């Protein structure tokens, strides 16, 4: 049972790392677009500012879901019972999945 809990925890951490990398790249891209004189459209400065605002709001939501999932995973690593570890990781899973789907959608958008 310990091996199963450890494998699940390592897989979960890998997923968190992948989503974190994507959100860092998205944050840099949003900042670059915000600072650009050309905006998203290239010639229509300010035309898509509302979309940048929306993207930044979505990125904040993704970051909060990722933080909540990471906190649950950290709690799982401190529990001695492997069944309880797996239960906490199951609670964190939907949050990680939501953050992952959100980051994928936002990445496609940019």
Percent of the residues in the chain that have a pLDDT greater than 90, as a whole number: 63
What is the per-residue pLDDT across 71-89, written as a single tens digit (0 to 9) for each? Answer: 999 999 999 999 999 999 9
Q: Report how far residue 48's alpha carbon sits from residue 23's, in angstroms, rounded to the nearest whole number.
A: 20
Alpha helices in 36-81 (DSSP H): 49-78
List Cα–Cα distances, 71 to 6, 18, 38, 85, 98, in angstroms: 17, 16, 39, 13, 15
Q: What is the pLDDT of residue 104?
A: 93
Q: What is the model's pTM? A: 0.82
* Coil/strand/helix, residue 39: coil
Query: What is the average pLDDT value for the chain, to the nearest integer?
Result: 87
Over residues 59-77, the mean pLDDT reads 95
């Amino acid at each position: 049972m310990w091996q199963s809990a450890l494998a699940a925890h390592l897989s979960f951490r890998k997923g968190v790392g992948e989503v974190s990398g994507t959100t860092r790249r998205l944050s840099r891209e949003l900042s670059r677009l915000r600072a650009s004189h050309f905006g998203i459209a290239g010639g229509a400065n300010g035309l898509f500012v509302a979309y940048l605002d929306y993207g930044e709001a979505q990125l904040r939501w993704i970051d909060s879901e990722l933080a909540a999932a990471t906190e649950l995973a950290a709690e799982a690593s401190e529990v001695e019972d492997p069944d309880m570890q797996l239960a906490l990781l199951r609670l964190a899973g939907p949050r990680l999945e939501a953050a992952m789907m959100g980051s994928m959608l936002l990445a496609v958008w940019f």
